[in-house]
Structure 1
């Protein structure tokens, strides 16, 4: 274990993130395209709510960017993931396998379905769900059943598995899909952080049955607030659209609804912002990858710390850059020094199984997830930091 010179590490990061001094955010949106024009069109025409040409256009353009047949845009990523789980067949009282190391939206979406998160460990290679560890765990606790595998300890059905691509780095999806196929588990991809990332040359979000993504203000592209479902199944997409638009039957004037559903529609004005942002996605990804290369080179010779690089076979969007400290005892010292210097950094999320509402949920041993939580720090990652003129 090497000792980290925290002061020196802070100065190295500051040279890249804030060469002119001043405070620097962890991740800021970048508006440098057609955003003003598209939003003004909504205001000028009055099409600002949940119907309008930009909603249809954003769904079409997003599907193409994510390599799927269909995208259905909604109010936020949590709503997208909740609907994706329902469409995958998750029912009240089921268990859903998901990493303990994730943002709280992942288990929240599971809980909103009346299901129970079942927490699994992560991989040092990807920071995401570990397929080998999951396979070994299922061999220990799962048993086949007519309507899907069951947890022999709790007796509950294992209804789905939800990988999350941590900070934009792809989970080993080929490995995970093999495990899921063996156990007949639908895969619902949480791609909230990974728009623009590739694995084996293919985008993420559409590898499983259905996926969900987010366009929150801190994501690589933003609609202010928003999310989307991604799928290659036209029937699922049609059902998603129906469920997220209050289950209203099409009619010129009548309000007829055929089931209890959700008002999760994305407004046209948000979709307009998304259309403009999506046009800049390749530029943002190039900038963020350039920033990652600069960090990697600058930090390469520092003892006690390493820059986390994309997994083999991946082209990550590096949504949030991350460093791993050798000594977890130095994490808070590093966070204090960088934030005191005006460089916004943050630790990884508290493991979901340690939050009060999820402490009683089933879990496997989590040695890797706990080590990542204790040692990982995110550093400034705004795309502007990697663009020409900032390099």
Structure 2
């Protein structure tokens, strides 16, 4: 891992909260992520299961966590299983956790090698009434691949068919969405690295540079500051590319007179930032570009003010839609009399602003959370309105990451330039 050690307090705290919500006499099993093949003899770079990381801090493949707080043998109430290294692995793959390092990272004292897992599990699982299994219940995920947790569930049901099987995901959905001080600090670190990359890019962009050259500048700054890398595939969309919401080709020349829509951010210690900015290639917005930019910026400020404790997801997005509609009328893109006759189920603003305004942020960029639970203190949400005008070849989106606090909120990206005049000044310095 490139990032600095986090310490075990976060993960010890997370496990304590999790087991406090288990039914009596229950065992919970968590698996690290699969390793996915990239080609004939390589895997993709390993990315840890966020729930496993949340409970252990262990950032390594082939690992298993077993939690059984009521286990009759105290030795097995909290157990971590790791892949045992050897000289061959050390030479070909590099360092793996020692038992002492795993204790220091996770706070778990009972560490065993992975080959001991089946025997130890069998000696204790028959004393449990319930088995908690963790499957991916993020409602943005479509299950098509039989990932490790699903395969384990099938195997356990064959061996232990009469146990009661329970879901860990609803517990984690409630826990993960409320960020601790350590998690907030890690997210802020990701935001700060993102800020530095943006400042670097402002000095680099000029007519004639390519989108991929800008991507290289960003990546350099991320890795230079110990970020894992990009939180998601970076969007560097110049000109008409900006009207493609998930444009990631990043292979075009940035031309004089165009606006570049940036949507990229750093990941640090598995916690993600998520930023969008729109800047003029030549360092100066045209009158029309500035009109659209200012409209989006006003929506951002008003929407951010609504991200407070108790706000309801659907109500929030409906209110943002009303604000956006007013701005689109002001820009001449919608007509007031047409809006008055619109179908409320298909509001006209969606022609120019077709995505949601906010999503939760954390170990997943689109973090695991309920759409139906009011926002809480400790939630981190993006705020990302945009206006996309195909007929003008112009797309502008702005996005900051907002922490909900008692009585208000805090913008974790307040130090990243967003004022268009400041952006122009920095680009022309």
For the pair shown, the structure with the greater C-alpha radius of gyration is: 2
Normalising by structure 2, report the TM-score: 0.22
Q: Which has the higher contact order (CA 8 A, sep 6+)?
A: 1
Normalising by structure 1, report the TM-score: 0.23
